[in-house]
């Protein structure tokens, strides 16, 4: 009889980088479809542009660095970055926005630091912030939900807007946005911010037609879809619960306190949780395995700090949404957090 | 003669104040948004550097060691004041657009660094040459960075050169391409950091290639060490 001896670890995880990345991409699908339903097919076009560019840039940089191309392309991390960036930018943004963003994300934020596993910052969010600062007009031109448009924009016009910045009849994106209902409709977060700065109360602002009972029309369902995708990720153990739960809890508590103190100028928890990129950020972006904390205690602190920063920037900052800034700021704090939250090694450093 | 040559190489490339010593980054990053600003600050820094190096070198034997730093700062401040008044008189537009960064030349570590590391140990002629070369190296990096940022951000070169060189210089303005939407990041401070990072990376790549060409044999690699200044 032959006894085979297996060395530890005995319990194998069948997860490879590739399967993890593909699972995360799949978990985005409900959110992407909801986004496409409410905000038009633009997001799918942006996805295609982003995926193609990401593959090309990744291959080109790997070639420059004399690294094997196929294994790195196949692990899917570049595609995940592409997906996350494509769903973060306005669906009808010009094509070069996506291309510049992806080049920056892959070449500068990821590969210049040494490729997957070495990047300090989340590539998709680094690129998002670059685009937001470089092209504020294009990056804030969100269309209102299609259900609010008097006439839906046909697919051919959406394609034309993305690639030539004009629709079939020669109107620019700004014209189209105004034509929809006579006024440009800001995103819910933006609308609240503007209204409060003009001394309206939040409840007055929420009478606007882009709002439903809790948050913006469309936006709240997009957030619900990402929440579902996120729960699937936790269930399949692709991500841990610590970061999303502490992020969402902190954001909810902070906004609840704000609402109690000053209901006129601050929207409540439900609005904050289901507006903008909260759920996408909590489950898909803040949980990036490379740039987030890896200790459990650290993850709780990391998530909570992001939640707090999102609340602070949304309420006091100059930009309507804050997920990207909050994540990048906390990415910088990760080494410090990890330094102070190292778990005790078995047999060392026990309390006397 | 060979010492002059090696000083030139050190200042322009091997020990470049901006790319290798990383000194004086504050003005470097803040005013390199256009070529004109970069050129103005580069020349101002160059003049101050030469003046302070020569003066420090001349008085080096009479300055007690314990109070040399305050003395050097006073000397530098005097030259900066001269430059500031001259710019105020002759290039008023540029004086306004550089603003606080002209008086701040006093605190440019590249200048006090050269005074301390070189001028206080060498004669006036060598110090002047070192000041010229270090100043040129600094100005060169400023110019390249300014050109990168101006091209990316505005699509122009030498925009506003008349502020520095007089009215005839308006013809220097080159419009490379017209952008519907500016690449704002290039003009904002983050663009300066990104640009400088790329420049340093580029220099290191060239150095690596030169080294690989010079020594084809595999010499054992020494532990990397950050060199701040060179004393020789």
**Helices A155-164, A173-181: inter-axial angle, 10-degree rounding:** 140
Residue A333 has a pLDDT of 94
Give the end-to-end CA distance of chain A in Å, rounded to a whole number: 49
For the beta carbon of residue A150, count every other beta carbon within 10 angstroms.
8
Q: Which two tokens stand for residue A72?
A: 């790195």
> Can you tell me the mean pLDDT for A45-74?
91
Query: Residues A191, A193, A198, A199: what is their CA dihedral angle, to the nearest 10 degrees?
Result: 110
Instruction: Yes or no: say if A32 and A43 are a contact pair by the CB < 8 Å rule.
Output: yes
Rounded to 5 degrees, φ, ψ at B175 are -100, 110
> Can you tell me the mean pLDDT for A256-261?
92
At which residue do the structure tokens 């101006």 appear?
B150
Contact check, Cβ <8 Å, A133/B184: yes
Q: Which two tokens stand for residue B96?
A: 């306004």
Rounded to 5 degrees, φ, ψ at A211 are -105, 145
Chain A residues near residue B194 by CB distance under 8 angstroms: 108
At which residue do the structure tokens 């970061």 appear?
A243
Find the closest chain B residue to A65 by CA distance. B205
SS3 B175: strand
H helix or E strand, kind and range, residue B156 = strand B156-157
Residue A73 has a pLDDT of 85
Least confident among A10-19, A267-276, B138-147: A10-19
Chain B residues near residue A105 by CB distance under 8 angstroms: none
* Nearest beta carbon to residue B188 from set A112, A133, A135: A133
Contact check, Cβ <8 Å, A134/B194: no
Indicate the DSSP class of residue A344.
P
Cα A114 from chain centroid (whole Å): 23
- List residues bridging with B157 in a β-sheet: B174
Angstrom distance (rounded) from CA B126 to CA B70: 23
**Chain B, 184-223: which have a CB under 8 Å from a chain A CB?**
184-186, 188, 190, 194, 201
* Minimal C-alpha gap between A319 and chain B (Å): 16
Instruction: Yes or no: say if A77 and A191 are a contact pair by the CB < 8 Å rule.
Output: no
Give B127 or A8, the one with higher predicted confidence. B127
> Can you tell me the mean pLDDT for B73-102?
90
Residue B158 has a pLDDT of 81
pLDDT averaged over every residue in chain B: 85
Residue A315 has a pLDDT of 87
Contact check, Cβ <8 Å, B184/A137: no
Residue A265 has a pLDDT of 84
Angstrom distance (rounded) from CA A151 to CA A306: 39
% of chain A with per-residue pLDDT over 90: 49
Closest CA to A235 of A22, A77, A52, A27: A27
- pLDDT, tens only, A186-238: 788 888 888 888 888 888 877 777 777 777 788 889 999 999 999 999 999 89
Contact check, Cβ <8 Å, A136/B184: yes
Chain A residues near residue B201 by CB distance under 8 angstroms: 112
Instruction: Yes or no: say if B31 and B96 are a contact pair by the CB < 8 Å rule.
Output: no
- List residues bridging with B175 in a β-sheet: B156
A133 at B interface, C-beta within 8 A:
yes
Chain A residues near residue B185 by CB distance under 8 angstroms: 130, 133-134
Residue A252 has a pLDDT of 94
Phi-psi label, residue B31: left if phi above 0, alpha if psi -120 to 50, beta otherwise: alpha
Contacts of A165 (CB under 8 A, 6+ apart): A94, A172, A173
Angstrom distance (rounded) from CA B115 to CA B59: 11
For the beta carbon of residue A130, count every other beta carbon within 10 angstroms.
24
How many interface pairs between A and B have CB atoms less than 8 angstroms apart?
Answer: 18
SS3 A216: strand
Q: Which two tokens stand for residue A23?
A: 């699972």
Is the pLDDT at B7 greater than 80? The verdict is yes
* Minimal C-alpha gap between A108 and chain B (Å): 9
Contacts of B95 (CB under 8 A, 6+ apart): B84, B87, B88, B102
> Can you tell me the mean pLDDT for A8-19?
76
> Can you tell me the mean pLDDT for A27-33?
94
Closest CA to A288 of A247, A253, A347: A247
Is the pLDDT at B49 greater than 80? The verdict is yes
Residue B129 has a pLDDT of 92
Is the pLDDT at A310 greater than 60? The verdict is yes
Angstrom distance (rounded) from CA A223 to CA B29: 40
Instruction: Yes or no: say if B134 and B114 are a contact pair by the CB < 8 Å rule.
Output: yes
Is the pLDDT at A300 greater than 90? The verdict is yes
A135 at B interface, C-beta within 8 A:
yes
Instruction: Yes or no: say if A192 and A259 are a contact pair by the CB < 8 Å rule.
Output: no
Give B28 or A148, the one with higher predicted confidence. B28
So where are chain B's domains?
A: 2-214
At which residue do the structure tokens 């996408």 appear?
A280
Contacts of B120 (CB under 8 A, 6+ apart): B56, B57, B60, B63, B68, B72
């Amino acid at each position: 009889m032959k006894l085979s001896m297996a060395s530890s670890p005995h319990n194998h995880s069948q997860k490879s980088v590739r399967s993890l990345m593909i699972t995360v991409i799949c978990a985005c699908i409900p959110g992407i479809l909801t986004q496409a339903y409410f905000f038009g097919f633009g997001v799918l076009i942006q996805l295609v542009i982003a995926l193609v560019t990401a593959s090309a840039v990744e291959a080109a940089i790997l070639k420059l660095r004399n690294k094997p191309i196929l294994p790195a392309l196949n692990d899917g991390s570049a595609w995940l970055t592409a997906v996350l960036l494509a769903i973060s930018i306005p669906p009808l943004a010009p094509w070069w926005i996506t291309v510049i963003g992806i080049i920056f994300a892959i070449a500068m934020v990821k590969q210049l630091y040494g490729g997957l596993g070495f990047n300090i910052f989340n590539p998709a969010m680094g690129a998002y912030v670059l685009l937001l600062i470089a092209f504020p007009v294009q990056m804030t031109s969100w269309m209102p939900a299609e259900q609010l448009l008097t006439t839906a924009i046909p697919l051919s016009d959406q394609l034309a807007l993305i690639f030539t910045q004009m629709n079939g009849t020669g109107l620019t994106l700004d014209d189209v946005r105004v034509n929809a209902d006579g006024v440009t409709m800001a995103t819910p977060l933006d609308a609240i911010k503007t209204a409060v700065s003009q001394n309206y109360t939040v409840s007055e602002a929420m009478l606007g037609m882009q709002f439903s009972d809790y948050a913006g029309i469309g936006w709240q369902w997009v957030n619900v879809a990402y929440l579902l995708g996120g729960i699937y990720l936790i269930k399949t153990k692709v991500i841990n619960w610590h970061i999303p739960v502490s992020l969402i809890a902190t954001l909810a508590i902070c906004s609840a306190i704000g609402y109690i103190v000053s209901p006129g100028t601050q929207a409540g928890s439900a609005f904050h949780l289901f507006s903008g990129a909260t759920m996408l950020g909590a489950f898909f972006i803040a949980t990036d395995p490379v740039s987030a904390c890896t200790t459990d205690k650290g993850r709780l602190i990391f998530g909570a700090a992001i939640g707090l920063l999102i609340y602070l920037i949304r309420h006091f900052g100059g930009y309507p949404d804050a997920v990207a800034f909050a994540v990048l700021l906390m990415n910088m704090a990760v080494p410090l957090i990890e330094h102070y939250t190292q778990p005790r090694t078995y047999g060392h450093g026990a309390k006397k | 003669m060979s010492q002059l040559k090696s000083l030139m190489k050190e200042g322009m490339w091997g020990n470049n104040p901006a790319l290798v010593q990383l000194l004086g980054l504050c003005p470097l990053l803040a005013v390199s948004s256009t070529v004109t600003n970069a050129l103005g600050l580069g020349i101002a820094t160059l003049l101050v550097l030469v003046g302070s190096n020569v003066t420090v070198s001349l008085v080096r034997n009479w300055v007690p060691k314990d109070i040399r730093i305050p003395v050097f700062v006073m000397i530098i401040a005097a030259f900066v004041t001269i430059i500031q008044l001259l710019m105020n008189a002759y290039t008023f537009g540029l004086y306004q657009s550089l603003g606080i960064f002209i008086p701040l030349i006093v605190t440019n570590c590249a200048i006090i660094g050269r005074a301390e590391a070189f001028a206080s140990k060498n004669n006036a002629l060598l110090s002047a040459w070192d000041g010229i070369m270090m100043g040129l190296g600094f100005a060169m990096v400023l110019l390249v960075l300014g050109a990168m940022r101006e091209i990316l951000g505005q699509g122009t070169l030498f925009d506003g050169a008349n502020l520095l060189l007089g009215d005839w210089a308006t013809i220097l303005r080159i419009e490379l391409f017209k952008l519907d939407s500016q690449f704002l990041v290039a003009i904002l401070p983050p663009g300066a950091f990104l640009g400088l990072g790329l420049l340093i990376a580029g220099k290191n790549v060239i150095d690596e290639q030169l080294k690989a060409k010079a020594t084809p044999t595999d010499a054992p690699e020494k532990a990397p060490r950050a060199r701040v200044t060179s004393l020789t």
